Structure 1
Amino acid sequence: MTITFVVNQVRKESAGYTTTALAYEAHKRGHTVYYAGVGDLVYQADGRIGAHCRKVPDREFRSLHTFLEAVVETEKELTSSKNWDVLWLRNDPAADMEKRPWAQDAGVLFGQLASQQGVLVLNSPDGLIKASNKMYLQYFPESVRPQSVITRNMADVEAFYRAQNHRIILKPLKGSGGKNVFLVDKKDDKNRKQIVEAICRDGFAIAQEYLPAAKKGDIRLFLMDGEPIIKDGKVAAIQRVQQAGEIRSNIHQGAKAKRATMNKEMQAIIDTVGPLLRQDGMFLVGLDIVGDKLMEINVFSPGGLIHASEFHGVDFMEDVITAVEKKVGDVTRND
């Protein structure tokens, strides 16, 4: 099959990214693999979606590092959706919010047209539009998510703050990577208004109940078509433990990752959210879980699958690409 990965900018990819490992696994299996940045997408005169892509060279590589180096050094070539089997949207719109606002929605908009042209688009671009910010969490039952208020009104935040015994989490509705996430309690009384104003410069703020279990970090759990990825009895999940004095569990914010195993709280959340994720075409997602609550659903480019593979001593990338191959095979048979 021919699979095109769309990322924010190819030159800013890393060998440690899940996207790199997925592309490498597809290449090792003999598939044609392309990389394209969001800015490389194009609507062509013949009505087809295309992209100025970097093709993975047809040779073996010693590591993810040499693989990605070869991709970056490759010259771009214009390709067409008529030659693509899969278009995988792995760009993070939130990463382009400040400096490249034009790039935020480009992936899903081009992806919608590519889907109409017979390309298998992952995750579903229609589903991604629905899940393009943290409001998506509110589609799921209250039993699995923390109490929240989404607003731009300071009075709403103040009322929720008092109702939550003067201890809440504040963060932007649209964002990723732990940026502008704050734990607010009584010691922040003088700064609370400024924090809300800073968040609301870029949109809406989420005020969320503080979960004491967050002191132990969170679990990043990967689901594929609404089900956990399990290989040799091991689940694709990691526990992320924040640094001392830090509330954010994002690895690139200094959190440490370690092995995680399935528990009954995780299974209950999967049983609750899995059907809607599958219905919305969310092929590969990362759930961020604290205790028995789902804090976030990462639908664009969830990372950490490499860490999960390393900790458990299995290659979860193999199962993901196998599932993509099956999807392409099913499409071909239906045609």
Structure 2
Amino acid sequence: MALTVAVQMDPLETINIAGDSSFALMLSAQQRGHRLFHYAAEDLNWSNGRLWTKARPVTVQRVAGDHFTAGAPVSLDLGEEADVVLMRQDPPFDLGYITATHLLERISDRTLVVNDPASVRNAPEKVFVLDYARFMPPTLVTRSLDEARAFLKEHGAIVVKPLHGNGGKAIFRVGPEGENLSALIEVFNQTWREPHMVQAFLPGVAQGDKRIVLVDGEVAGAINRLPGEGEFRSNLAVGGSAEKTELTAREREICDALGPELKRRGLIFVGIDVIAGQWLTEINVTSPTGIVAIERFDGTDVAGLIWDAIERRIAERSR
């Protein structure tokens, strides 16, 4: 079953094919005979019930510096001419991102959008996770310096991060003495209108921050991410390193709790983050990563599993 696949993502020229999950998905789709188009979220247009974009037909290959070939842009009706839209642009999860989900939602009865746009909009990484607070470290969502100080006093050391941040950016550890906490909250309040996330600092982060990928609610694989020298953040984007890993009993319990709801919401490709084998910190649904590293360490073709799930859903729709 050859599909027409429109990939909504950042410029192909800028990606690092060695670790980019979107590129891996495109390569896997092409190997299955699917036809690929690329466009940017800001190129979406809507009128009279139609959603279309200027998209370039592309072919991809795993050759650094020569990893894609693009044809001339064409007008692509996403509701009538595409079978699948992969919504893979990177955060920030801002009004541009949210608007794209609203537009794509209008064709989701005809075209399979991965992940489901309404569910992406309603499940921001650090907000959706609050539904599973029983698995989380002690957490506070606030803009209040007084509340942050009280939380620090209770827990001894804390981490402060933007509620809609990504990639390990702007995450700060504050020690028991509260050094610079007032200045930090002041800067956060000036930079972001929404509340911020404050969590108890987990020394176990030195053991790693595990990225577990779930495909249509089922565990597909995991990697353990270790902080770089002089860092407590383990995100690969800020210098962390990855290693092979296995799931703990607690992590399997977390995945079993999340899986049915992810499947119900149409969140086909999800990456969750678990610290020290037990503390759930994020449920990544916008543009999750990690599938290339998982394949490198344990040989699991996660991209193939994602396409199996997509093709299965499309087949179910046509019945």
Matched residue SS, 1:93: coil
Q: Which residue of 2 aligns with 1:112?
A: 105
Distance in 2 separating the partners of 1:6 and 1:269: 30
2:216 aligned with 1:225, yes or no? yes
Distance in 2 separating the partners of 1:84 and 1:255: 37
TM-score w.r.t. length of structure 2: 0.92
Shift in Å, 1:64 = 5.2
Instruction: Kindly tell me the number of residue pairs found equivalent between the two proteins.
Output: 312
2:146 aligned with 1:155, yes or no? yes
Q: 1:296 to 1:282 in 2, by over 3 A?
A: same
Distance in 2 separating the partners of 1:152 and 1:20: 38
Give 1 or 2: higher helix fraction. Answer: 1
* Structure 1: 5+ residue stretches without partners: 230-235
Q: Which residue of 2 aligns with 1:172?
A: 162
Matched residue SS, 1:247: coil
Residue identity over aligned pairs, in percent, reads: 28
Deviation digits for residues 241-291 of structure 1, max 9, x if unmatched?
011221111101000011111221210111122222222221110010012
* Structure 2: 5+ residue stretches without partners: none
Q: Which residue of 2 aligns with 1:195?
A: 184
Alignment of 1:5-44 (within 5 A): 5-15=7-17, 16-43=19-46
2:303 aligned with 1:317, yes or no? yes
Deviation digits for residues 159-205 of structure 1, max 9, x if unmatched?
111111x2011101111011110111135x34111112222221321
Q: 1:226 to 1:246 in 2, by over 3 A?
A: same
Alignment of 1:74-93 (within 5 A): 74-81=71-78, 82-93=80-91
Q: 1:285 to 1:27 in 2, by over 3 A?
A: same
Shift in Å, 1:328 = 1.1
2:253 aligned with 1:268, yes or no? yes
Indicate if the aligned counterparts of 2:27 and 2:61 stay in contact, CA closer than 8 A.
no
Distance in 2 separating the partners of 1:314 and 1:88: 21
Alignment of 1:243-258 (within 5 A): 243-258=228-243
Deviation digits for residues 69-102 of structure 1, max 9, x if unmatched?
314xx332110020111111112331xx6xxx55
Shift in Å, 1:295 = 0.8
CA RMSD in angstroms, aligned pairs only? 1.8
Distance in 2 separating the partners of 1:302 and 1:119: 21
Distance in 1 separating the partners of 2:185 and 2:271: 27
Q: 1:175 to 1:52 in 2, by over 3 A?
A: same
Indicate if the aligned counterparts of 1:20 and 1:64 stay in contact, CA closer than 8 A.
no
Q: Which residue of 2 aligns with 1:233?
A: none
